[in-house]
Amino acid sequence: MSLLQELQDRSGNQCELCASKNDLSIYEVPPASIGGVDGSLLACNICVEQIEDAEKTDANHWRCLNDSMWSEFRAVKIVAWRMLSRLRKEGWPQDLLDMMYLEDEDVRFAKESGDHLDESEKIIHRDANGAILQAGDSVVLIKDLKVKGSSMVAKQGTAVRRISLDHENAKYIEGKVGPTQIVIITDYVKKMSEKE
């Protein structure tokens, strides 16, 4: 069974956030370290657009989270928590957040988006050219890097896909080079365009 089919069966072929039956697609929760059915949900275009672009967020659309925040599925709960956190200044989302329960591991994963932080608190990661890096982005190394604690050298030009961000230091990101998960300093990477 395909991932799309599994998500359609699980959701009753409707958006797992707002229950819309239109323009549905797979939304992989970034940074998609788990992917698959546990790291994805079925979402409508309106929800996905607003999740991915905070400027387009319509608080009233997200009143649907009053229901979906109780989902038994981790990916749905994490996105609900992120959106409620982003909208908490509206008042009602904070009330829902106060009622919501997530396992500690899920809270850590949910916080990787930074939606729970005020703009002034957010740590912004930038590549060597000043482009903003986000969790799930792909970067390319612009210099050979020795990997601490091993004899491995990550070569210039190596692509590192689906990076995660260090939420305490704007200079550090993490990603896999081959089978090895490494910490990389942002001064030595360039963000890849989606076409690369």
Q: How many residues does the chain have?
A: 196
Could you read off the pLDDT of 173-189 as tens digits, one per residue?
A: 988 888 888 889 899 99
Q: Is the model's pLDDT at 107 over the cut of 90? A: no
Structure tokens at 35: 């992917």
Range of lowest pLDDT (22-26, 80-84, 121-125): 121-125
What confidence category does residue 55 fall into, taking pLDDT thresholds of 50, 70 and 90?
confident
Q: Using CA atoms, how far apart are residues 95 and 18, in angstroms rounded to an integer? A: 19
The yes-or-no verdict on residue 74 having pLDDT over 60 is yes
In the predicted model, what is the mean pLDDT of residues 160-164?
A: 87
Alpha carbons 188 and 88: distance in angstroms, whole number: 36
Decide if pLDDT at 72 tops 80: yes
Between 168 and 90, where is the model more confident?
Answer: 90
- Report pLDDT digits (tens) over 122-133: 677 889 888 888
Read off the pTM.
0.60
Nearest of 167, 165, 155 to residue 186 by alpha carbon: 165
pLDDT value of position 117: 57
Side by side, the strands of the sheet bearing 180-185 are 164-165, 172-177, 180-185
Quick check: helix, strand or coil at residue 89? helix
Q: What angle do CA 2, 64, 123 make, to 5 degrees?
A: 80
Structure tokens at 4: 């799309």
Does the domain spanning 123-191 belong to CATH 2.30.30.40? yes
Which of 16, 5, 171 minimizes the C-alpha distance to 78? Answer: 16
Listed in sequence order, the DSSP H helices in 40-90 are 45-52, 65-68, 74-86
For the chain, residues classed under CATH 2.30.30.40 are 123-191
